Structure 1
Amino acid sequence: MDGINTKEGKIGSLILRIWFPLFVFGIFMFLLLGKDELYSRFLRNFSGVGRVIFEYGSQIGVWVSGALLAQRFITVFVWDGLIAGISGRPVPRLPKDFTGILMFGIAFMGVLATVFNQSITGIWATSGVFGIILGVALRNVILDVFIGLSMHVEQPFRIGDWVRIHQNRRETHIVGQVIEINWRTTRLKNTEKNMIVVPNSKMGEAILTNYMKPKPYFRIDLEFVLDYEVPPNRAIRLLLAAVKSMIDGTRILNNPEPEVRLDAALSYGQKYEVRFFILPTGVSPKESKHLVNRRVIEHLLKVGIKPAIEKEIVYMERDSLPQPKRKDNGPDYNSIIRSNSLFSTLPEDEINHLEGYFTSREIFAGEKLYRQENEGESLFILIEGLLKSNASLDGSKDIDDVESIEPGQHFGEECVLGPNLRASTVVAVTDCQVIEISAKKVLELANRNGLFLSKLNTETGVSSLKAIQSRYKLKRRTKHEDSKKSDKKKTVGSAIQTFFTDLFPTATTPKK
């Protein structure tokens, strides 16, 4: 039914676009073909001047309305119909305008030749010199028009594509989204929401990068320099966790996967290259850089690491020796625990006292820390990396993501106060490091600190609610899919039944 309504809507739209030029052309054609009948019946007393005006007007009207009708037919059925259907995108204004100019030019020549009995050859010869003068004067405009036509034929970019126009210097490159290609210029919208108008001749001469071809996504590269004190494996884990925490499928993509490479060893640190892919229809290149840069800095600062800077060591005395460099002893657990939303309610001495009551664990990417419904007697805090929790229905293989867990967040608190069953499954997205605190120790802290107990109760309730909401959403999705399968089976069964009924009709008993 929806398909029928859509088809009827398209037909109605076509009729609305064609009826007026068709109606005008029909009127002028009727006046031209039926002029003798009109003279004999209605226009007997028409003066000679009136007849001349009537004849010239009807002939000119046929040519002009015919050009309008032809232009509208080509626009509707060729440009907006055939070409747009093949390309999958709206056709720019330039070819439509050129078609209109061509049709009305033919109509003008037809009026001169048939209505006013002028020699077209003579007109072309007379206008030759004028055309040369005009061509020299308007050479840039003409160049813009023909390069615009060639761009439409070659289609190096389309409306909606993000492109970069390379200039002499990198800082002057133009990056923007194509919003219009007309007979004279190409219009871009840059990341500052401003419109940039570029002559087509400049577009034809410039080196151009189309970010959306051959695939609708493209790669962004960011560089970070970290000190040699940070081991490469740890640096890659931190940077990869930061960029993967931004994946949402509409802006920053999971496929192709983000990656981190050790690009170079510099005098003041190791340079890492963070690569990720974006959909420019969802986020601009500058905005994506801002988002990932911010998240990387947040992840680094949480574990006490700052980007390296160039250093210059100055010795004031000949006998002075350089200070020994601090070795990388890993993350500062106390500072991470102190920044946690739950444990920040504890006094400083309690946090320092925790150091001997937790164990550190490393989990590799893809490994499960624990599964849903498993028994547990501990609470975890993510130190480095990125984790993901998901929930599933009983006996079902379908899963739904509950949340992403980033450094500094705690999880698994439902096994401290409630039944010792895990509410969700936790999987490592990247290589991770976590600390595990026993439920017994957490309860001791809660008994001594009422604010901590209150916060723990709240966090447990929120965690359980997220898991319940995820399972409810999964249940609704499963029901919807089962309903669709059932409807499909009914449709197929009905079609088979109808086929066999038509093939072997039931014999009707003749009436006596």
Structure 2
Amino acid sequence: MTLSLTDIVLNPLTQFLALVGLRAAAKLFAPDSGSSRLVMNVVFFTALTVLLLYHGIPPYLLDSEPASVPELVSHGVLKTIWWVGGAMVLASCVRMFLIFERKPREGRLLQDLVVALIYVTSVLCIIAYVFRLPVGTVIATSGVLAIVLGLALQSTLNDVFSGIALNLGRPLSVGDWIMLDETVQGRVVETNWRSTQLLSGTNDLVVVPNSLLAKSRITNMSGPEGVHGASLKVRLTPTRSPAALLDAMERVLLSSNIILKTPAPSAGILGIDREAVEIELSFKVSDVSKVGSARNELFNLVYRHIEAAGIQLASQPGSAQIVVERSDREHDVKARNTPMRLMNTITLFAGLTDEEKEKMASQMVRLTFRQGELIAKRDTALTSLMIIRSGVVAVEEDDGDNRIELGRLAPGDFFGERGVLMGALEFADVRALTPVVIYEIPKERLALVLKERPGIAEELGLLLTSRTKREEEIRASWRTDVGQHPSSLSVRIRQFLHLGQT
């Protein structure tokens, strides 16, 4: 039997091959992206559906017996391709939906489960509508095989179904910091069919089987929001009233730059006896990974504030404690040497000798400021280096209707070095958050010391560079001396203070 050209062109198999050729050509010219591939698959599937229905081959119905074996084969092939193509389009839609939700890794288990269900349904439809086999018999036969495989893979299937249950219940997500039974903790970096992978605080990868995870008590420290609460306890000697000790600890929390200001941190007395007053500092951080940094900062601030307030740490219960008695005369000497002790806490003057420090301390001037008082105004050049003796100071910027806080300073911190060392203007207001005591060092006294020790200018350049970088991160719009090299800063310091080059 000879087929004419018209018969060949109108043959559904020929038209299908032409459709495949068009699909291949479109792939060459279309952009290689998930959305474009999905659009081309949808267009191809729609065109194939129209083609089959036009030729009276409904793929979702049992058609009458074909007239010949070639028609039986060609119709079966086209129906099979139609069902497989439909499954591919639905699977692509599922994956694209999870990508648009911006959670492709988080929903991998549920995604794979839905895709597998789509393909299994497609295979059953091919068996029923193409090969004309009873689906019930196939399912029963496969059920026996499934029981055998289930017994052989019991542990693996336990992990798989536990993973499905965890994904549907969603007690955790990728990026959450979780703790299991107070023994294992880390940040979730991956979830798959068999296990969940955690990155611990020591940067080790911990792989937890899903079956074990489903049985464990999970503490999600990142949910329902990223804010995480923490606390630390401090024991102080009861040489001052509990109210004074509590006020010192509240200043510790007030001067922190890491913990959140809202909700406000709190300090509470847990107990008191003749040996110690135990105070708990409660605070919150924006992310659980910042708890360690916040604790380190608070311990440092506790030491600085109790030194400024004349308070001592108490020993732990049961440990030996050495009590050193001081005479009134020694107490008076200590009070007179407050500027000297303050000089020893400043890294800026670590390279000076004790004699040079004493000369500078002898000319320090003591200033006091009330709570809320403005210490230094923005766009003014300070003529003295201001060292905080006690209290908490805030560095603020007025942004129209709101005041933006750029940082807080505690006892031992200093400011005004730009004006003293380079004649630069202050980039923000400096305000007292509590009653503040400040010692100032005049520029003339500092210039004499630097003239005797010009090498310190290099150290000042390094220090100013590090502080400038830190402030640049806080206030991106700050444009004064940003990004300068330490050597260029030291040159400016020498020029402004009229120091000779070395």
TM bracket (short chain): 0.5 to 0.7
Deviations 1:128-163 (A, max 9, x none): 444444444444444444443343333222222222
- Residue of structure 2 aligned with 1:338, choices 344, 347, 359: 344
Q: What is the 5 A alignment of 1:358-437?
A: 358-359=365-366, 361=368, 363-364=370-371, 366-371=372-377, 380-390=386-396, 404-412=408-416, 425-429=429-433, 431=434, 433-437=436-440
Cα distance in 2 between the residues matched to 1:387 and 1:409: 9
Aligned residue for 1:121? 136
Cα distance in 2 between the residues matched to 1:444 and 1:398: 38
- How many angstroms does 1:427 deviate by? 1.3
Whether the aligned pair in 2 keeps the contact of 1:70 and 1:103 (CA below 8 Å) is yes
Aligned residue for 2:38? 17
Aligned residue for 2:452? 451
1:92 aligns with 2:97: no
Runs of at least 5 residues in structure 2 that lack an aligned partner in the other structure: 1-29, 58-67, 481-502
Aligned residue for 2:178? 163
- How many angstroms does 1:96 deviate by? 1.2
1:226 aligns with 2:236: yes
Cα distance in 1 between the residues matched to 2:145 and 2:458: 88
What amino acid sits opposite 1:202 in the alignment?
A: L
Deviations 1:431-483 (A, max 9, x none): 354233485xx7468668843899799989979x98x999994799xxxxxxx
Cα distance in 2 between the residues matched to 1:302 and 1:10: 67
What amino acid sits opposite 2:437 in the alignment?
A: V
Worse overlay, 450-459 or 64-73:
450-459
Whether the aligned pair in 1 keeps the contact of 2:94 and 2:115 (CA below 8 Å) is no
Structure 1 residues 296, 31: closer, same or farther in 2, change over 3 A? same
Structure 1 residues 375, 62: closer, same or farther in 2, change over 3 A? closer
1:70 aligns with 2:74: no
Cα distance in 1 between the residues matched to 2:247 and 2:359: 27
Structure 1 residues 266, 114: closer, same or farther in 2, change over 3 A? farther
Deviations 1:270-320 (A, max 9, x none): 33323332222xx615643564356447636975877543365889xxxxx
Three-state SS of the structure 1 residue aligned to 2:139 is helix
Whether the aligned pair in 2 keeps the contact of 1:25 and 1:62 (CA below 8 Å) is no
Deviations 1:191-226 (A, max 9, x none): 233332323333332222222323321112223333
Three-state SS of the structure 2 residue aligned to 1:219 is strand
Three-state SS of the structure 2 residue aligned to 1:284 is helix
Cα distance in 2 between the residues matched to 1:297 and 1:225: 11
- How many angstroms does 1:73 deviate by? 2.5
- Residue of structure 2 aligned with 1:299, choices 282, 304, 309: 304
- How many angstroms does 1:410 deviate by? 3.4
Runs of at least 5 residues in structure 1 that lack an aligned partner in the other structure: 1-8, 37-47, 316-320, 477-512
Aligned residue for 1:217? 227
- How many angstroms does 1:52 deviate by? 6.0
Three-state SS of the structure 2 residue aligned to 1:261 is strand
- How many angstroms does 1:92 deviate by? 1.0
Deviations 1:89-113 (A, max 9, x none): 8651111111111111112222222
Three-state SS of the structure 2 residue aligned to 1:68 is helix
- Residue of structure 1 aligned with 2:276, choices 244, 248, 269: 269
Worse overlay, 48-57 or 97-106:
48-57
Cα distance in 2 between the residues matched to 1:422 and 1:126: 82
Three-state SS of the structure 2 residue aligned to 1:336 is helix
Deviations 1:67-104 (A, max 9, x none): 22222233334x445xx38xx88651111111111111
- How many angstroms does 1:247 deviate by? 2.5
What amino acid sits opposite 2:94 in the alignment?
A: I
Cα distance in 2 between the residues matched to 1:414 and 1:309: 42
Cα distance in 2 between the residues matched to 1:199 and 1:385: 52
Q: How many residues align?
A: 428
What amino acid sits opposite 1:76 in the alignment?
A: M
- How many angstroms does 1:118 deviate by? 1.9
What amino acid sits opposite 2:137 in the alignment?
A: G
Aligned residue for 2:196? 186
- How many angstroms does 1:373 deviate by? 7.7
Cα distance in 1 between the residues matched to 2:456 and 2:171: 58
Cα distance in 2 between the residues matched to 1:225 and 1:59: 79
- Residue of structure 2 aligned with 1:288, choices 284, 287, 293: 293
Aligned residue for 2:20? none
Cα distance in 2 between the residues matched to 1:24 and 1:194: 47
Whether the aligned pair in 2 keeps the contact of 1:71 and 1:100 (CA below 8 Å) is yes
Cα distance in 2 between the residues matched to 1:474 and 1:20: 52
Whether the aligned pair in 2 keeps the contact of 1:18 and 1:73 (CA below 8 Å) is no
Three-state SS of the structure 1 residue aligned to 2:202 is coil
Worse overlay, 400-409 or 454-463:
454-463
Cα distance in 2 between the residues matched to 1:73 and 1:449: 71
Cα distance in 2 between the residues matched to 1:228 and 1:277: 28
Cα distance in 1 between the residues matched to 2:92 and 2:222: 32
Aligned residue for 2:495? none
Three-state SS of the structure 1 residue aligned to 2:389 is strand
What amino acid sits opposite 2:358 in the alignment?
A: I
> What TM-score do you get using the length of structure 1 for normalisation?
0.64
Whether the aligned pair in 2 keeps the contact of 1:383 and 1:432 (CA below 8 Å) is no
Deviations 1:340-384 (A, max 9, x none): 3566546438628946964364754x4434545899986532123
Cα distance in 2 between the residues matched to 1:29 and 1:423: 71
Cα distance in 1 between the residues matched to 2:347 and 2:73: 89
1:309 aligns with 2:315: yes
Cα distance in 2 between the residues matched to 1:312 and 1:74: 64
Deviations 1:222-260 (A, max 9, x none): 233333346655655655555555526xxx433223333
Aligned residue for 1:198? 208
